[in-house]
């Protein structure tokens, strides 16, 4: 925990690089709000469609958080419960991708990630 603030500052620096690099691309980047000190546990971008997401995911060996809306998991198939229509949740599950972000990423890796996304879209 002694390195927590320093590591968070490094992730925030990487997030700023991502934000600037993706400005003109058809992707939704994390919302930047005045007064928000974001720990960037995840840096999640959203694509226009599932196919583009799949192409970038494979190119980067990146992960999806989360691929299935909670209410659509099979453990709830026979459950008696209420659920809103959850259209936005379905859209997010189909189009989000988590980019690598941690304090030990090198500058070369960040550039590689950015360039890979630019070429894959």
Partner 1 sequence: MTAYDAWDREYQENKQAYLEIFDEFMSQMNYENNEEWERNFAQRLGRNHCVSVASATDALHFALLAHGIGPGDEVLVTDFSWISSASCVDMVGATPVFCDIDLDTYQMSLDSVQRMYTNRVKAIVYVHLFGAITDTSALQAFCKERNILFVEDAAQALGSSLNGVHAGTIGDCSVFSFNSNKVIAGINGGGVVLTDDDDVAKRLKMIRRHGKDKTFDLLGYNIRM
| Closest by Cα among 8, 5, 18 to 98 | 18
**Site for partner 1 contains 1 (CB under 8 A):** yes
Question: Least distance (Å) from partner 1 to the CB of residue 101?
Answer: 9
Choices 16-24, 47-55, 75-83; region in contact with partner 1 by CB under 8 A: 75-83
Interface with partner 1 (CB under 8 A), residue from 23, 24, 51, 75: 75
Which residue(s) pair with 45 in the sheet? 97
Separation in Å, CA 92 to CA 3, 46, 48, 95: 32, 7, 10, 5
**Site for partner 1 contains 65 (CB under 8 A):** yes
First-residue to last-residue Cα distance in the chain: 38
User: Can you tell me whether residue 58 is helix, strand or coil?
Assistant: helix
The residues of the shown chain that bind partner 1, judged by CB under 8 A, are 1, 3-5, 7-8, 11, 28, 30-31, 33, 35-44, 46, 60-63, 65-66, 69-71, 73, 75, 79-89, 91-93, 96, 98-100, 102-105, 109, 112
């Amino acid at each position: 925990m002694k390195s927590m603030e320093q590591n968070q500052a490094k992730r925030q620096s990487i997030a700023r690089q991502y934000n600037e690099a993706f400005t003109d691309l058809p992707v939704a980047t994390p919302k930047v709000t005045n007064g928000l000190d974001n720990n960037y546990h995840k840096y999640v971008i959203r694509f226009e469609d599932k196919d583009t997401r799949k192409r970038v995911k494979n190119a980067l060996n990146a992960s999806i958080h989360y691929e299935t809306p909670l209410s659509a998991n099979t453990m709830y198939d026979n459950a008696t419960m209420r659920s809103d229509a959850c259209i936005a949740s379905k859209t997010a599950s189909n189009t989000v991708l988590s980019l690598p972000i941690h304090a030990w990423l090198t500058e070369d890796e960040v550039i590689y990630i950015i360039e890979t996304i630019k070429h894959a879209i």
